[in-house]
Structure 1
């Protein structure tokens, strides 16, 4: 996909905001881009401004919105998958380095989204990514959102989580509710 096509694909429309509102069960806030889309075109992940309109710092740039994906990831979290992943990051220097690189990518993407949003720097969250990066795993939703937004190979634990939930959901298969677009 060309850079121009990718940028177009990330553009937020009123329809996207309506769909995200249905996905979340509440209005979307401070959405700067649609960071990842379903094969049908519906949003999967939104990129949120690092400072919300009310002034609150918001470190979670890539916010997973699709309820089927969110539920699959929530099941893994309920099973405690984050603890084993954190142990592996602590014990495996190669994984730790790849996870640190994911953290740096996340910070760079937050700066880019902040520039697009016009929020400028947000010193309260400077150097802090999300999901526990770079030393532990705290939130698989963030890691999956980052993987879907950045593409394969950027966040190793987000990619691993996507592989783990592939029997329930995969980016190649639509699991959207048609009512989201009809409403």
Structure 2
């Protein structure tokens, strides 16, 4: 990971912007860079319902390609027509909600803050028939949730990490260090 010891700086380079939330890295690529983080649910006193974030530039790019090809509509159609797939997706929302409740149990927060986080599903989704975006579904899966959409996306993306001769995060770090 180059000379970087500050993961917040690496993630800032990966995302191209600051991240205010506290977080922990839940998955790394073979090259040691963060691929997915678990974010705090309260930032600056405000509820933040997205628990898992995808940070890997390669994965973000690969998933954007799928979204451009209409994969969200394809998956939403599957949710409508495949009862088992829908049940597994609803279960992933519940598993995410349960994890959020565990994380919030030790925090001193107001009831409205708690409800703003708990009453929504993966990534703050209100309507469970909607996917919202594939990035958060994959992040949810990479964070350890049995998310059938995230698992499907993981299996169909062309590249799951950078090849050894073209590590995107090495380029980002080297450019920043110059």
User: TM-score normalized by structure 2?
Assistant: 0.80
Could you say which residue in structure 1 is the equivalent of 2:6?
Answer: 15
Structure 1, unaligned runs of 5 or more: 1-12
- Give the greater-gyration-radius structure (CA): 2
Could you say which residue in structure 1 is the equivalent of 2:144?
Answer: 150
Could you say which residue in structure 2 is the equivalent of 1:30?
Answer: 21
1:49, 1:119 within 8 Å by CA — same for their partners in 2? no
Instruction: Return the alpha-carbon distance in structure 1 between the equivalents of residues 17 and 138 of structure 2.
Output: 21
Are residue 46 (structure 1) and residue 46 (structure 2) matched?
Answer: no
Aligned length: 165
2:97 paired residue among 97, 107, 113? 107
Are residue 72 (structure 1) and residue 62 (structure 2) matched?
Answer: yes
Instruction: Return the alpha-carbon distance in structure 2 between the equivalents of residues 114 and 179 of structure 1.
Output: 37
Shift of 1:84: 1.3
Cα 1:14–1:27 shift into 2, 3 Å = farther
Higher relative contact order (CA 8 A, sep 6+): 2
Could you say which residue in structure 2 is the equivalent of 1:160?
Answer: 152
Residues 39-63 of structure 1 show CA distances to partners (whole Å, capped at 9, x for unaligned) of: 222111111112212x332111101
What SS is found at the alignment partner of 2:20? coil
Taking only aligned residues, the RMSD between alpha carbons, in angstroms, comes to: 2.5
Instruction: Return the alpha-carbon distance in structure 2 between the equivalents of residues 14 and 29 of structure 1.
Output: 18
Instruction: Return the alpha-carbon distance in structure 1 between the equivalents of residues 103 and 8 of structure 2.
Output: 17
2:26, 2:143 within 8 Å by CA — same for their partners in 1? yes
Instruction: Return the alpha-carbon distance in structure 1 between the equivalents of residues 139 and 163 of structure 2.
Output: 17
Instruction: Return the alpha-carbon distance in structure 2 between the equivalents of residues 83 and 178 of structure 1.
Output: 34
Structure 2, unaligned runs of 5 or more: none
Residues 47-90 of structure 1 show CA distances to partners (whole Å, capped at 9, x for unaligned) of: 1112212x332111101111111111111112221111111111
